[in-house]
Amino acid sequence: MNAASNYNPILTYEKTGAVDFMKLFDESEDACAVAEKEARKEKLPDISMRAGFSLSDWNTKKDMKKQAVEWWEWDWETAHRPDESAEYSHLFEEPSDDAGRTLALIKVTEDLEGVFKLRFFANMMRSLSCYTVLAFSLAVSLPSSTYATSLSSKADETHCRKTTVAILGSGVAGITAAQALSNQSVHDFLLIERNDYIGGRVAHTTFGTKPDGSGPYTVELGANWVQGLGSEGGPENPIWTLAKKYNLTNTFSNYSSILTYNETGAVDFTGLLDDFEDAYAVTEQEAGRYLTENLQDVSMKAGFGTTGWKTGRKDMAKQAVEWWEWDWETAHTPDESAFVFGISGFNLTFYQFSDENNYVFDQRGFNAFVIGEGSTFLKPNDSRLLLNTVVENVTYSADGVIVHNADGSCVSADYAICTFSLGVLQNDVVSFTPPLPKWKQTAIESFHFGTYTKIFLQFNTTFWDPSTQFFLYADPIKRGYYPVWQSLSTPGFLPDSNIIFVTVVGDESYRVENQSDEETKAEVMQVLRRMFPDVGVPEPVAFMYPRWSLEPWAHGSYSDWATGVTLEMHQNLRANVDRLWFAGEAGSAEYFGFLHGAWFEGRDVGERIVGLLGKGCVNEDGEGKKKGACGTMERYEVLHGTTEEEEYNIANGWFASSFLTFGF
């Protein structure tokens, strides 16, 4: 006997007990109606359901109650997250029958995988009459709040500090933009920085103790590599140029120096690494065919599958290899990443510059090069650098920009360059007046922003092979569960430091960053003891990891090109809105996710504003290579579903002169 599912009434819970957040269900329904209307409005390229929800003002972000409601409304029906689902096709699929859903009294909990799962209570269901009005229960685990910043009253704008260019953020893009202005004799600018240092996500901290007791080591929390150094007769990565200029201590990352493990200990599946490389070579050519034949981009998972690389749900060694080759670089799964732009973004760095990566462990910190470049135009205690200043609102127009800060101060500028991370823009940390136009919001929400978390451990001994750089672990159940370990005790790094670190990304980053150090340490130690069952792994003497997804000025680590995003859509991410400009690694069509992407974008935007100020266009670099057009950027209010070959041009942020530079 069947009965229709009655989704109302419903009871809601968090881990402390019953709590009423029923109104969120109404908000979700309202947002879905707006999303459906928006999807029907114009024949535009489909985007992810996550982007569609965000454009209708439904943002879950780190609101776990909202996440539970969203899971109820979306994941439960589709068995996929909104990030993984297409907006248009799903909104217009009408469910055949509500009664088709399994009847259950459910409890939704945050389990070890960090996702919400149904728990069916079959015995309880048998006791329910088909006429019983079912009460559905939702339980959510709420992380503690990290910041609660209230919007201060806006300062009297007539008393705002005046400047020609306000640069919001002093990471690599912000410093490079300021340097570009200074190089062309534009010295009237202000750098507004939330932190007490410059460098942004190029950040370090102290950790552990040196053997001689002289103090702690310096380890990098964020950016750690120079990726793609340069080739003889070819271009050189500007970050590598700067690393050499400032004598940053670094060592070549030898990815062939690797041992593999599973839950039983050492087991050799390195042959799968060769299999992947063979499949990747074929995948590159297939991506080239998609590009030249103007086919719609698909997911990287689909791209791998069409060329014969299929992991299978239970082949955990293959899953670990794929994680090593893809997730570790992009901080996203192949399901989430674009095929053509994923391949091109990877190859433009490693074909155009070189396939060499060097790990930086300079004890001054990687951001020594950022500080060094800043010192070329900033004096000690320069009044143009405003540290510890939190931006709350940016009011922009065709006449200028006013920046309102949390301390009540404000800055009035002719132009502003916003170098906030994509994560900050997606999480509405800063408000914009007027709200950013729809074409801009769509671009912001359509791109991915991932998290890359390094978990550091120091022991009183090096119990792993000190001659090996990398250790790859294949968990028997979960993909990406503490998979890649790196030794800093290896010769050429920090010998005798007894430091090793493990990296997680994406959902696993979000999960571990929302739990305590002790919980994470227990999981990490369990994995280490599985990998080295015959050693007797001791407890660490030091343990630490950052929480990038919880940092209010970052909300993650770096960007990734999402499936379905076209070059036009990405150009809208780059494009200015009136006198408000944007720069950062996410804005680089060629080098998104890379440190040098931030460098190129900061320089480009700085030089464009030089042109707008009547100082003349800076059209060529030192080698006479043509760069971006002078002045305002191209943008698209009407989008196409694919990227045609002729659209790969400078106006769309594509500076490569040949497809040969990325292996097609």
Q: Which residues of 460-486 are buried (b: 16+ CB within 10 A; e: fewer)?
A: eebebeeeebbbbbbbeeebbbbbbbb
CA distance 249 to 239: 13
Positive or negative: CA dihedral 239, 244, 245, 249: positive
Range list for CATH 3.50.50.60 in the chain: 143-664
The residues, ordered by sequence, that sit 6+ positions from 305 with a Cβ below 8 Å of its Cβ are: none
Contact predicate 303/528, CB 8 Å: no
Closest CA to 136 of 120, 112, 116, 123: 120
Q: Which CATH number fits domain 143-664: 3.50.50.60, 3.40.50.2300, 3.20.20.70, 3.40.50.1000?
A: 3.50.50.60
Three-state DSSP string of 11-25: EEEECCEECCCCHHH
Give the model's pLDDT for residue 467: 97
| Tokens 């015995």, residue located | 123
Can you list the residues of the chain whose pLDDT is less than 50?
92, 94-154, 620, 622-626
The one-letter code for the residue type at 151 is L
Closest CA to 507 of 51, 142, 114: 114
Q: CA angle 227-232-236, nearest 5°? A: 40
Give the model's pLDDT for residue 659: 59
pLDDT tens-place string over residues 469-507: 999 999 999 999 999 999 999 999 999 999 999 999 999
Contact predicate 191/614, CB 8 Å: no
Q: What is the pTM of this model?
A: 0.82
The one-letter code for the residue type at 372 is G
Distances in Å between the alpha carbon of 44 and those of 39, 258, 439, 660?
8, 46, 11, 31
Give the model's pLDDT for residue 124: 32
Give the model's pLDDT for residue 236: 95
Q: Which residues of 72-96 are buried (b: 16+ CB within 10 A; e: fewer)?
A: bbbbbeeeebbbbbbbbebbeeeee
Give the model's pLDDT for residue 253: 98
CA distance 22 to 452: 34
